[in-house]
Chains A and B, each alone.
Chain A
Amino acid sequence: MKWLPVVRAVRVPWALVPFVALVGAPVALALATAAVLSVRDVAGRPSLAAWRAVLTEGEALGSLALSAFVATAVVALALGLALPLALALRDRVRRGIVGAALHAPLAVPAVVAAFVAFQLLTPSGIVGRWLVAAGVVGGMEGVPVVVNDRWAVGIVLAHVALAVPFLVLLLAELADSERLADLARLARTLGAGQRAVRWRVEVPVLLRAAVPQAALLWVAVLGSYEIPLLLGRQSPQMLSVLTLRTFERFDLADKPKAFVLAVLYALAVGAVLAVVLRRREAS
């Protein structure tokens, strides 16, 4: 089908002016400001001290490592749960009470998820009480510590709880758009049994199609703030928490370090997004 070619030079793109003024300029300014202020000391003199401090002190590298670990764990666990759910539920994902129930968690913001997770998972929380009541543990000291803990278990669980319903809905849509049922039928005619259809067709097709969204989820978790703020330890902290805490410190000499963290974060995420965008455009 041939369409009217709409690619034409926009001679006076007036409709783009507010976009530049309200989005492009502020973002560019913010990123440029962070970059410039990251190479100046408190007195405004050029200095790489903040960069040296951030890259050599354990805190920033620890934060980066923790953030990457949490983001990776969340994506892996969430996909690991969502994939079998989506394949098991199939069309029920879109209709009836199951469909409605899966949409409900999309209404829960990170701040509420953090609060609920805290109330559930803290040693004196609801789960802890049930463990004590059931006789599984003797008292609060026996309840596993998953909040403000070393391995950020609570942070991972809270993010996974938020991500799984979204991923189930996404995978159900992808199963349609990738024509999974047709591919499975084809595989059967080629001699594949049920197990082979599941592991050689359905799972790889869905995982491949989900990569861009999984990458965006990874980026979102990497930069998350509210959940690690409430459920994380004092050290190491996840990137956004550390960045803001550094920025708000009483010692002004710490401010350039916050800008260094902001630049590092933007570079890392920019690289991931560039790959995702290229892949999207190619498909």
Chain B
Amino acid sequence: MTARRLPAGLFAALVVAACAAPFAVLALLSVADGWTFSAPWLTAWRLGRWREALAGDLASSTALSVALSLAVALASTAGGLATGRAVARCRHRRAWLWMAYLPFASSPVVLSVGLVVWWIRAGWAGTLGGVALAQLVFGYAYGVVFFASFWTPRLLAYGDLVRTLGGSAVQALRLGAWPVARSAAALCLAQTFLLSWFQYGLTLVVGQGRVSTLPVRVFAYVGEADAGLAAVASLVLVGPPLAMLWLNRRLLRVGMGDGG
């Protein structure tokens, strides 16, 4: 394997550079002004593009995406926590897990083709609520898959123990399971947020082009051949996921330290 023959430091630097490259490209494009072929480097900068972009439609798309993704993430995590527990305790656990995997048996775009027929009949197509419900199909399913394996017999036994010590069902969840479930819920929240945040095809079809989330906006700028604006929008799009990933890594490290 050739990697071994490179000095370790140089090898690590190459890996870091390769991973950072997309962000560097976006940053460059976001401030490039008229970067024509065949100039290998920027000849003019336009920092004001950020101000213009954020003062325009980009800000509203960002706010829309944040609200939509938060709503879908909260609903998916809460639903996944409760339903995952029911699935873990159920005799026909495998059948319910199959149902949770079902949305992923089809790509969001392909599934949306069948979904939009019903959304149109219900009057939900082209609305924010309709897009949220469609995204929830995937988010909620993900939450169930996530928590079905989280609710181990041991964790369920804590709940039973609390009940026999005189606690109510709510106390069993709040005092017996929640201290352990807290960090898992935060992880699921982050991941379902990203599922919704990144969603493009499903949003486009179900939203019928009327719900302009951030990914839709990015593609619109690309379609308009405005690389600068598309780069700004792309950097805004990757911002929260980068923050989530950092938070995830911290939570994972803390979670491993607790030793549950």
A18 CA to B20 CA, complexed, in Å: 42
Does the CB pair A88–B245 fall under 8 Å? no
Chain B: minimal CB distance from A222 (Å): 8
Is B170 an interface residue, CB under 8 A from the partner?
Answer: no
Interface string of B8-48 (1 = CB under 8 A from A): 00011001100110110110010000000111100000000
Instruction: Give the residues from 73 to 126 in chain B that come closer than 8 angstroms, CB to CB, to chain A.
Output: 79, 82-83, 85-91, 94, 96-115, 117-118
Closest 6 pairs between A and B when the two form their complex, measured CB to CB: A223-B107, A30-B114, A107-B241, A15-B86, A109-B198, A133-B40
Is B144 an interface residue, CB under 8 A from the partner?
Answer: yes
Interface string of A107-132 (1 = CB under 8 A from B): 11111111110111000101011101
Does the CB pair A266–B200 fall under 8 Å? no
Is A230 an interface residue, CB under 8 A from the partner?
Answer: yes
Q: A-B pairs with CB below 8 Å: how many?
A: 258
Contacts of A224 in B (CB 8 A): 107
Does the CB pair A119–B29 fall under 8 Å? yes
Does the CB pair B109–A85 fall under 8 Å? no
A252 CA to B144 CA, complexed, in Å: 38
14 cross-chain CB contacts under 8 A:
A5-B153, A26-B137, A30-B114, A31-B106, A84-B1, A85-B15, A88-B1, A98-B16, A106-B245, A108-B238, A115-B218, A225-B108, A226-B201, A243-B110
Does the CB pair B237–A112 fall under 8 Å? yes
Which residue on chain B has the smallest CB distance to residue A117? B22
Does the CB pair A26–B15 fall under 8 Å? no
CB contact under 8 A between A126 and B3, given known A85-B15, A243-B113: no
Chain B: minimal CB distance from A1 (Å): 9
Is A247 an interface residue, CB under 8 A from the partner?
Answer: yes
Is A282 an interface residue, CB under 8 A from the partner?
Answer: no
Does the CB pair B3–A34 fall under 8 Å? no
Contacts of A85 in B (CB 8 A): 3, 15
Is A87 an interface residue, CB under 8 A from the partner?
Answer: yes
Interface string of A1-24 (1 = CB under 8 A from B): 001111111100111101110111
Which residue on chain B has the smallest CB distance to residue A130? B40
A107 CA to B19 CA, complexed, in Å: 11
Does the CB pair B242–A262 fall under 8 Å? no
Contacts of A10 in B (CB 8 A): 86, 89-91
Which one of A44-52, A58-66, A144-152, A269-277 contacts B?
A269-277
Does the CB pair B12–A98 fall under 8 Å? yes
A223 CA to B197 CA, complexed, in Å: 18
Does the CB pair A273–B19 fall under 8 Å? no
Chain B: minimal CB distance from A261 (Å): 7
From B25, B91, B105, contact of A266 by CB (8 A): B105
Does the CB pair A16–B136 fall under 8 Å? no
> Which bucket holds chain B's interface residue count?
35 or more
Contacts of A133 in B (CB 8 A): 38, 40
Is B154 an interface residue, CB under 8 A from the partner?
Answer: yes
Does the CB pair A112–B22 fall under 8 Å? yes
Is B64 an interface residue, CB under 8 A from the partner?
Answer: no
Supplied contacts A6-B157, A103-B245, 16 more A-B pairs, CB within 8 Å: A4-B156, A10-B86, A18-B83, A23-B99, A85-B15, A99-B249, A107-B242, A111-B218, A112-B22, A113-B22, A225-B108, A225-B109, A244-B113, A261-B110, A262-B113, A277-B98
Does the CB pair B82–A88 fall under 8 Å? no
Is A281 an interface residue, CB under 8 A from the partner?
Answer: yes
Chain A: minimal CB distance from B126 (Å): 14
Does the CB pair B88–A270 fall under 8 Å? no
Does the CB pair B153–A4 fall under 8 Å? yes
A11 CA to B87 CA, complexed, in Å: 13
Contacts of A225 in B (CB 8 A): 107-109, 200-201
Contacts of B1 in A (CB 8 A): 84, 87-88, 198
Does the CB pair A18–B79 fall under 8 Å? yes
Chain A: minimal CB distance from B163 (Å): 12
A124 CA to B115 CA, complexed, in Å: 39
Is B212 an interface residue, CB under 8 A from the partner?
Answer: no
Which residue on chain B has the smallest CB distance to residue A18? B79
Chain A: minimal CB distance from B207 (Å): 13
Interface string of B134-150 (1 = CB under 8 A from A): 10110011001000000
A186 CA to B100 CA, complexed, in Å: 40
Does the CB pair A19–B79 fall under 8 Å? yes
